[in-house]
């Protein structure tokens, strides 16, 4: 299984257009790499690709990665998409892919996410032909696209409900399946990838999925619960926005101490001190053997 990080930032990216915080300023000045909004692409053969979330930066992300380029007029190697939740930074890229012509995408999400998304006029066309927006049943295996696409590829997906709510535009409701982690298995290589860019807590099911994965991309939005407030950027805590912080006594690093899975933090908010390689937060992450995703990072499982 080939995994390509298309984008590694939370909503807004780094730099964010209206932000001159230390991280955004460093990226804008070219002292650190810029980051587009979080999404990864997965393939077993390098020819057909699945996107895990589809960020508003998808057009630039496609251009930055040759295997996603069209090979003839009006063509795309992107077969389908899987969504973890209905946040605009995770499916807003659909509005960029309106010029699909006759190419139909197969999209999969929880029933809850599909219902929220297709109620929005901008996303509704993706539930109609030539597309199919299928339900990813919670906690059951399903095919990422369809059986025909899967011949010789043998990828399966499991959507694991995690702690979280529907997006702000839907009222932050507590609904089962509002946020899921996606477990992708390539049966032939027995490789297992977990993509969990958003979670408010690590419950037993998420912990078990992290332990079972070869590589787990985890929510790296915030290092501390109060960093937005402390930096004067916003009045909300990480947890109130549905993100468990990476650091602190109840943070992800503390909770996963001793785990053997390769952990890669992604979906980094521009407020996150982990983005500064000289910070203590960055050192803590590396100390525990975890990594920080970057745009264009590539792994082979």
Please report how close the Cβ of residue 167 comes to Zn ion at its closest, in angstroms.
9
Whole-angstrom Cα distance, residue 184 to residue 154? 10
Distances (CA, A) of 190 to 19, 181, 271, 276: 43, 19, 37, 35
Residue 62 interacting with Zn ion (CB under 5 A): no
In the bound state with Zn ion, the residue whose beta carbon lies nearer, of 155 and 181, is: 181
Please report how close the Cβ of residue 83 comes to Zn ion at its closest, in angstroms.
11
Find the part of the chain contacting Zn ion (CB under 5 A) among 18-26, 107-115, 137-145, 163-171.
18-26
In the bound state with Zn ion, the residue whose beta carbon lies nearer, of 198 and 301, is: 198
Whole-angstrom Cα distance, residue 86 to residue 144? 18
Is the separation of the CB atoms in 42 and 154 below 8 Å?
A: no
- State whether the Cα torsion 155-108-197-276 is positive or negative: positive
Residue 24 interacting with Zn ion (CB under 5 A): yes
In the bound state with Zn ion, the residue whose beta carbon lies nearer, of 39 and 261, is: 39
β-partners of residue 108 are 82, 134
Q: Which stretches within 33-179 are classed as H helix?
A: 58-63, 88-91, 111-118, 147-150
Residue 7 interacting with Zn ion (CB under 5 A): no
Report the SS3 class of residue 269.
Answer: coil
What is the H or E stretch that residue 205 is in?
helix 204-212
Residues 83-122 that bind Zn ion (CB under 5 A): 87, 89
Phi-psi domain of 25 (left: phi exceeds 0; alpha: psi -120 through 50; beta: other):
alpha
Find the part of the chain contacting Zn ion (CB under 5 A) among 10-18, 94-102, 145-153, 168-176.
10-18
Please report how close the Cβ of residue 45 comes to Zn ion at its closest, in angstroms.
29
Whole-angstrom Cα distance, residue 155 to residue 108? 14
In the bound state with Zn ion, the residue whose beta carbon lies nearer, of 179 and 186, is: 179
Interface residue with Zn ion among 162, 270, 272, 290 (CB under 5 A) is 270
Interface residue with Zn ion among 7, 11, 242, 247 (CB under 5 A) is 11
Find the part of the chain contacting Zn ion (CB under 5 A) among 17-25, 27-35, 107-115, 169-177.
17-25
Whole-angstrom Cα distance, residue 157 to residue 183? 6
Report the SS3 class of residue 193.
Answer: strand
Whole-angstrom Cα distance, residue 242 to residue 238? 7
CB atoms within 10 A of CB 152: 8
In the bound state with Zn ion, the residue whose beta carbon lies nearer, of 24 and 186, is: 24
* Interaction mask 70-89, Zn ion, x per CB under 5 A: -----------------x-x
Interface residue with Zn ion among 1, 3, 19, 134 (CB under 5 A) is 19
- State whether the Cα torsion 148-149-153-157 is positive or negative: negative
Interface residue with Zn ion among 21, 138, 175, 205 (CB under 5 A) is 21
In the bound state with Zn ion, the residue whose beta carbon lies nearer, of 92 and 301, is: 92
Residues 210-269 that bind Zn ion (CB under 5 A): none
Q: Give the total of residues touching Zn ion (CB under 5 A).
A: 8
In the bound state with Zn ion, the residue whose beta carbon lies nearer, of 244 and 270, is: 270
β-partners of residue 25 are none
Please report how close the Cβ of residue 47 comes to Zn ion at its closest, in angstroms.
29
Write out the residues near Zn ion by the rule CB under 5 A.
Answer: 10-11, 19, 21, 24, 87, 89, 270
């Amino acid at each position: 299984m080939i995994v390509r990080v298309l984008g590694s930032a939370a909503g807004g990216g780094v730099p964010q257009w209206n932000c001159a915080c230390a991280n955004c300023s460093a990226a804008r000045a070219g002292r650190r790499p810029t980051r587009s909004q979080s999404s990864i692409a997965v393939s077993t053969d390098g020819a057909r690709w699945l996107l895990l979330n589809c960020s508003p930066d998808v057009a630039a992300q496609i251009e930055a990665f040759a295997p996603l380029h069209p090979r003839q007029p009006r063509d795309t190697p992107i077969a389908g998409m899987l969504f973890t939740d209905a946040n605009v930074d995770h499916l807003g890229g659909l509005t960029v892919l309106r010029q699909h012509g006759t190419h139909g995408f197969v999209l999969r999400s929880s029933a809850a996410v599909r219902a929220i998304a297709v109620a929005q006029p901008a996303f509704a066309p993706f539930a109609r032909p030539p597309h199919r927006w299928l339900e990813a049943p919670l906690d059951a295996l399903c095919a990422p696209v369809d059986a025909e696409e899967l011949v010789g590829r043998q990828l399966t997906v499991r959507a694991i409900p995690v702690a979280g709510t529907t997006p702000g535009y839907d009222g932050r409701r507590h609904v089962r399946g509002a946020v899921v982690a996606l477990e992708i298995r390539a049966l032939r290589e027995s490789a297992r990838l977990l993509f969990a860019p958003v979670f408010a807590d690590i419950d037993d099911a998420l912990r078990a999925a992290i332990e079972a994965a070869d590589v787990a991309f985890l929510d790296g939005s915030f290092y501390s619960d109060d960093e937005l407030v402390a930096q004067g950027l916003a009045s909300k805590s990480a947890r109130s926005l549905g993100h468990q912080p990476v650091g602190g006594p109840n943070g992800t690093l503390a909770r996963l101490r001793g785990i053997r899975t390769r952990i890669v933090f992604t979906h980094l908010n521009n407020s996150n001190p982990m983005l500064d390689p000289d910070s203590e937060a960055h050192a803590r992450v590396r100390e525990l053997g975890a990594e920080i995703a970057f745009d264009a990072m590539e792994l082979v499982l």
